[in-house]
Structure 1
């Protein structure tokens, strides 16, 4: 598996883990929050309903309810929303706390802030309807055409409304007491608002939620506000008549539930105008935006897991990358310091492993190049030392008179000088070729014609060596090449073939076309080359038989130069040989279309 693929897979693992953990945390926290909010809704809904109802009952209106809802939302950790009957949102705890309004769950709970009819009045009505009970609720009610009963036959004072409860048959009857309680609630709300205007408390509210709704101290200490409130209520004949009309119609219709039903419905109608409007309560989970701290223990564990995965993955990547890079850095430093034998371990098939292998190959090439350079210097020194030593010895002998000058001696010294010149010329050609500075003049060349001409030039040498030279080039074979450089290649190959072939031997030159290639073959039946030396044939100064090479004056650079020239022409040169049976050199060049 490649290094790139491992990084990709690790990143994908981290990403998938993060996405999965996030999804799990989201679902887990959402489910937990829903369950918690449901439990909290069931647990706290009674408390919330009672608190809101008491607030509306004591004030008769809803301004200031937001403070109560905010406190309840903080205490219960619930989203509390209150709406009117037509769907208008009156209070929303999320909006008040600067959060988007979250969802609400379940059915709405009704919040009715109207006061309840005193149980004592309902019980009194029950007793009047029991079998054997005597009397009627009110004399006027026995005659449907009679006027409705007032609160009294004389002007009603605060003492009459908030004082002792009447016990006579008329004003102490359950319907009259019901009307009296409704009037008490209306008057009490008006009175506390008057009291609040004078005291400037900013929160006009009743102190008690049951009749008579005003304490004795409030009535005593605020007579003007109480008197004004009572007068305003008892003189509202339209309101009083409406209450009695509702009750009378209900009783004449004969409610199957008895007088209690009529009392309750009439009382509710009587206090509706003064009470706060009914609300709908909806509860839901609170949308927290408090950051990571609100996620709880699962979020902490999930975040820790993600961090651990990221750290482990990063550590693995860093280790996989840094260790090979560190080795390469150290090896490069040692290579720069001259240690050409330094190598780095290679393992696996990743990009870093291939980089290490490339570094080792480069170091190997540098080491071989350095060794070839040292061998070249040593070979050049060796090739130059022997002839120069001969020249020096003869010159010293001539100078000292030990050696007598002769024509033969000077001819031998001249031959040695020519050999040194040939070595220097070949070295220069090789240096230019390896540097890419060897000039080529490319032209269409008939390889068969070039080989035939070169064989003619070497026939005299071959005849002197007792070697038969044969050319097999039946048809033209065209190439794009430098004819002079090809003649140099042919001359080196042909000279070596004649040089290493014994008398009565044979050298064959063959030219033919094979597909898109032009092929030149130089084959001899000479001494051949040992199998272990075939890889060194094109090395500088290498000789199959040094004694024979020296005897014929070769420099040991011909095959190296030939190999470079053929390579520069886009071709290749190959050698096969069997020791004592002969050698074959094959030159393959791109054919000319």
Structure 2
């Protein structure tokens, strides 16, 4: 079974797109690899610069609870080191970008150079350029920068306020004065974060070089170091206490033994048995540190360095490579289109040929149809249209024949009587005039029917709607048709017990209902009954004409309202029907936005139903 044309076109597009993507990937991979190889060879020193950028931003993340205000640092580092620096949140939102600050916004690389997370303990890996250089020996070179453990562990001075720094400055001067008084060379240095630090000359020099180091604060006899000189900041102490609390709670729940050590005012949790760092132990301590630091350090962020590499397709080598790839893609697309297009076009060509044959008068033209796709449905629709045209053409020819016959009979009668009267064979008396008038009436009725159909086809059938009682109209039709019914020996009655108000053209409704009653009388044998009924249904009224006559065979019902259609040609001719009454009735009812239907059983009679919309309440 054929698939949908839409699905086939989609598959075709995807095939072409896949070829283009593969070709583009080959170009991008080849050109990017070459460019990356050249950059690694020429810019080995750039890795140290990137490490410095990472360190500065990591320090900023440690000292600030958010990334707000990092723009200035990013701008200064970019100007100083000549690199594009961008920091984004975990969801990709740009926090700071040195390129945007300068009015440009090139696309960021697809992979960040590093992840900055001041909360995590251990080693944070930074893969700048993620380069791997394949040498003759198959060795690879790369760059990995590491960040120290969280700041309050590596530096107890972390988070120190200005007031705490001033206090540390005063204590430092006291210590320096004390050491100098004891004959030891001491000085007050400034550590990271502008925190004062006492440095004492070492008693062990290296090759005659003077070495300054921190005094042995752990020594019990160090009387020069005042209390609080090496105490952690209040913030570091708060974070450390929260971390220890969280870690011990997790370890207790896991029933893991541990010890708590205290060093210069900061505590640490270690296994009871030295060196037994189980996965659960590491997880408890790591999560405790992350949760304790989260309110005080900046959230995790991605660091991008440099701009996205581009491939110049207009360079000499690039142009040739791009042209060759494009040619290959076009060739594949052309082959696929030719193969698929021929299958798609074949049924359309068949449809075109059949349509041309129909134009030349071959109304029997049909197209072979297989499958269930859009083209197949078009073929079915064409065959149905051709069948309808052929049927209508046959009906048109039959109509011309019927009209000629219907006109010829009364005209022949009129001509015969007039010639006979002119020759003196038949006297032109009252009886002859009456007969001529009857024949003229038949002609007039046929011409009026043809005119009504012509007006309906042209959409010019005029109506004069007004609120009327359908029950009253039905009674009028029954009164008008009763003489014909009595002549035929048929009992004609009406059942319309209550008013049925609808907006209609009373003359046209009487004409439509009269056609049905006239047909019912014509095809009901003597002694039969014809009943005209009016009743309310839903939002309208049903006008029914029911007889117990000969009925209509089931195969004739779908064509009963076609013009000049005759279920029994001989009987219709004898009874004088033109075959236009039901077609006119259908047009009249539809002009009132109604509908007509028929039910019948051969030998049991028929029921014709007109539905007319009622007046809204």
**TM bucket normalised to smaller:** 0.5 to 0.7
Report deviation, 1:524: 0.4
In structure 2, C-alpha distance between the alignment counterparts of 1:343 and 1:391, rounded to whole Å: 47
RMSD (Å) for aligned C-alpha atoms = 3.9
In structure 1, C-alpha distance between the alignment counterparts of 2:388 and 2:480, rounded to whole Å: 40
Partners of 1:470 and 1:507 within 8 A in 2: yes
> Which of 5, 9, 15 in structure 1 is aligned with 2:11?
9
- Of 325-334 and 568-577, deviating more is 325-334
Aligned positions of 1:163-182 closer than 5 A: none
Partners of 2:542 and 2:609 within 8 A in 1: yes
Structure 1 residue aligned with 2:349: 326
> Which of 440, 448, 451 in structure 2 is aligned with 1:425?
448
In structure 1, C-alpha distance between the alignment counterparts of 2:450 and 2:510, rounded to whole Å: 18
Partners of 2:313 and 2:319 within 8 A in 1: no
Aligned positions of 1:223-238 closer than 5 A: none
Structure 2 residue aligned with 1:277: none
CA deviation string 1:552-583 (max 9, x = no partner): 54433211111111122222111111222211
Q: Is 1:311 aligned with 2:313?
A: no
What is the TM-score normalised by the length of structure 2? 0.51
SS in 1 for 2:481: helix
Report deviation, 1:409: 3.6
In structure 1, C-alpha distance between the alignment counterparts of 2:577 and 2:382, rounded to whole Å: 38
Aligned positions of 1:67-216 closer than 5 A: none
Report deviation, 1:426: 1.3
Q: Is 1:459 aligned with 2:482?
A: yes
> Which of 407, 415, 418 in structure 2 is aligned with 1:392?
415
What is the TM-score normalised by the length of structure 1? 0.53
Partners of 2:313 and 2:322 within 8 A in 1: no
Q: Is 1:343 aligned with 2:366?
A: yes
> Which of 379, 391, 406 in structure 2 is aligned with 1:368?
391
> Which of 571, 580, 586 in structure 1 is aligned with 2:603?
580
SS in 1 for 2:366: coil
Partners of 2:466 and 2:505 within 8 A in 1: yes
Where does the alignment leave 5 or more consecutive residues of structure 1 unmatched?
A: 42-86, 89-102, 108-252, 254-286
> Which of 492, 498, 511 in structure 2 is aligned with 1:469?
492
Q: 1:541/1:23 Cα in 2 relative to 1: closer, same or farther (>3 Å)?
A: closer
In structure 2, C-alpha distance between the alignment counterparts of 1:545 and 1:331, rounded to whole Å: 35
Q: 1:472/1:392 Cα in 2 relative to 1: closer, same or farther (>3 Å)?
A: same
Structure 2 residue aligned with 1:152: none
Where does the alignment leave 5 or more consecutive residues of structure 2 unmatched?
A: 44-80, 83-128, 134-206, 208-309
In structure 1, C-alpha distance between the alignment counterparts of 2:592 and 2:340, rounded to whole Å: 48
CA deviation string 1:102-134 (max 9, x = no partner): x99899xxxxxxxxxxxxxxxxxxxxxxxxxxx
Report deviation, 1:15: 1.8
Structure 1 residue aligned with 2:23: 21
Q: 1:296/1:451 Cα in 2 relative to 1: closer, same or farther (>3 Å)?
A: closer
CA deviation string 1:411-431 (max 9, x = no partner): 323322221121111111121
In structure 1, C-alpha distance between the alignment counterparts of 2:574 and 2:372, rounded to whole Å: 54
Partners of 2:465 and 2:505 within 8 A in 1: yes
SS in 2 for 1:526: coil
Report deviation, 1:3: 2.4
> Which of 430, 438, 441 in structure 1 is aligned with 2:464?
441
In structure 1, C-alpha distance between the alignment counterparts of 2:388 and 2:353, rounded to whole Å: 19
Q: 1:555/1:26 Cα in 2 relative to 1: closer, same or farther (>3 Å)?
A: closer
Partners of 1:422 and 1:555 within 8 A in 2: no
For this pair of structures, how many residues does the alignment match? 360
SS in 1 for 2:599: strand
Q: 1:292/1:360 Cα in 2 relative to 1: closer, same or farther (>3 Å)?
A: farther
Structure 2 residue aligned with 1:503: 526
Structure 1 residue aligned with 2:585: 562
CA deviation string 1:242-274 (max 9, x = no partner): xxxxxxxxxxx9xxxxxxxxxxxxxxxxxxxxx
Report deviation, 1:368: 3.0
- Of 332-341 and 509-518, deviating more is 332-341
CA deviation string 1:401-456 (max 9, x = no partner): 44455543443233222211211111111211122111101112221221122212
Q: Which is higher, the Rg of structure 1 or of structure 2?
A: 1
Partners of 2:512 and 2:588 within 8 A in 1: yes
In structure 2, C-alpha distance between the alignment counterparts of 1:510 and 1:423, rounded to whole Å: 28
Q: 1:21/1:348 Cα in 2 relative to 1: closer, same or farther (>3 Å)?
A: same
Q: 1:22/1:586 Cα in 2 relative to 1: closer, same or farther (>3 Å)?
A: same
Structure 1 residue aligned with 2:291: none
Partners of 2:542 and 2:612 within 8 A in 1: yes
SS in 2 for 1:513: strand
SS in 1 for 2:367: coil
Report deviation, 1:360: 3.5
Structure 2 residue aligned with 1:382: 405
Q: 1:408/1:305 Cα in 2 relative to 1: closer, same or farther (>3 Å)?
A: same
Structure 2 residue aligned with 1:270: none
In structure 2, C-alpha distance between the alignment counterparts of 1:403 and 1:380, rounded to whole Å: 29
- Of 378-387 and 528-537, deviating more is 528-537
Q: 1:448/1:405 Cα in 2 relative to 1: closer, same or farther (>3 Å)?
A: closer
Partners of 1:18 and 1:306 within 8 A in 2: yes
Partners of 2:312 and 2:318 within 8 A in 1: no
Q: 1:340/1:292 Cα in 2 relative to 1: closer, same or farther (>3 Å)?
A: farther
Aligned positions of 1:260-339 closer than 5 A: 294=317, 305-316=328-339, 318-339=341-362
Structure 2 residue aligned with 1:187: none
CA deviation string 1:89-113 (max 9, x = no partner): xxxxxxxxxxxxxx99899xxxxxx
Partners of 2:532 and 2:543 within 8 A in 1: yes
